[in-house]
Copies of this chain bind each other. A is one copy, B any other.
Amino acid sequence: MGKMCEAEAAKSGLGSGGMSWRYLFMFSIMLNLSLLFSRFTQDIKTSATGFVGSGEEQRKPDLSPLSFTDKPPACAVAKMGTNSYCSAIGVDNPVINLDHGDPTMFESFWRSMGDRGSIVISGWQLMSYFSDIGNLCWFLEPEFARQIRRLHQVVGNARSEDHHIVVGTGSTQLFQAALYALSPSDASEPTSVVSAAPFYSSYPSITDYLKSGLYKWAGDAHTFEKKGPYIELVTSPNNPDGYVRKAVINRTGGILVHDLAYYWPQYTPITSQADHDLMLFTVSKSTGHAGTRIGWALVRDKEVARRMTKFIELNTIGVSKDSQLRAAKILETVSDSCGHSDDSDHPAENFFEFGRRQMTKRWEQLRDAVVKSGMFSLPKFTNDFCNHTGQTIEPHPAFAWLKCEGGIEDCESFLRGHKILTRSGRHFGVDSTYVRISMLDRDETFNLFLERLSGIRS
């Protein structure tokens, strides 16, 4: 450029050479792109692995073949409390373990929800022992309490307005808290604890493992005749057989504990809002988050709620705040999903519709397999009107209460011989022609089970 133009350029602010703005612009564009790229990769890091750091190397959880943190195994888990391994992925004819109700069937729904069920917890959050010191249950996170009441309102399966909420490390801990709260501490002998057979197989062991002087397992409620106070456990829908239940003992001196772990629309029609004095629920069976170890009790009597809180204070100084906030997020996501309907574009939008669809399909397939085999029978259920869905529907319980026919006396052994692990009816207070089978495992496991069951002949 001529000296005359340089002078002009300088006057017009272009600066020497007149190229400066262009280079500055190009540099600025590179900075734009760099910021955009950095933002994009941070979004991916934040949701992918469960660990976040500001630019730090991400560490993946241990990915041993039997780790469930990331890859679902193709075969079912080994029996709790034993060292037997699940057969490795890809091995022919593996052992199928449906002994316990690990609710991994729901994983696919939660994967489809992507970020919606995610939670972030910073290092400085939730450090205190205390959640809400003004509350009777001082370790109950207010947000979790809010989501519990909301979900019950949305589903319509329980009244909670007149009840205190006590949170527990699973409903198992709350069951023990209830026994502690309902047994007089100054009684001359332990309070009897009963439930109508077939009862939940863990009730006897959980009641008696510490040989407590406060309460003691006294067996089948149908045949209970001992005088004095008692606690009757009513599980409805029942574990193991799926039937709706009421209390069976009809006399004074008894207190009822209602275990409503399965009273959710994916398993059974919601015929009314349950409104008992003490009702137990768990995320394990409502949403599938067994690993979070969270349950809640709706308790009408303030003194009972206080004593249950005391039990949990002595047992574990409260309940994990991390787990409660996670459960709150999960419950919130479930409640939100109830505003949607599944459709072909969004096949997994409504949690309970997803669950019901899965359970319906599995029960149909199971009944087909049982017919094909000819060796077994299953309970029959009555349709009923579900207030939540507005339809008359059939129950599809979380467990199949299968009976071996044709003179087979020990059904559990018989199926074990076919490398299917189940839980014998003996553990439920009835005879060994029955077994309980989980309907909640992953698709691969359940399909393998159907295939093997339908192939069993006399």
Contact = CB atoms under 8 A, between A and B. Distances in A.
Interface stretch (A239-247, A249-257, A284-292): A284-292
Contact of A39 (B32, B38, B46, B129): B38
Given A1-B12, A52-B46, A314 B123 contact: no
Interface string A189-216: 0000000000000100110011111100
A85 B134 contact: yes
A172 B311 CA distance: 12
Contacts of A176: 315
A185 to B, nearest CB: 8
A395 interface: no
A423 interface: no
Contacts of A91: none
A64 interface: yes
A308 B85 CA distance: 21
A107 B127 contact: yes
Contacts of A317: 170, 172, 290, 293
Contact of A320 (B146, B169, B330): B169
A297 to B, nearest CB: 14
Interface string A320-346: 111101100110110000000000000
A205 B315 CA distance: 10
A28 B294 CA distance: 49
Nearest to A210: B212
A142 interface: yes
A106 interface: yes
Contact of A321 (B24, B78, B146, B291): B291
B206 A169 contact: no
Given A12-B19, A118-B121, 10 more contacts: A25-B28, A32-B32, A62-B142, A68-B131, A69-B125, A113-B123, A180-B209, A291-B320, A293-B317, A316-B316
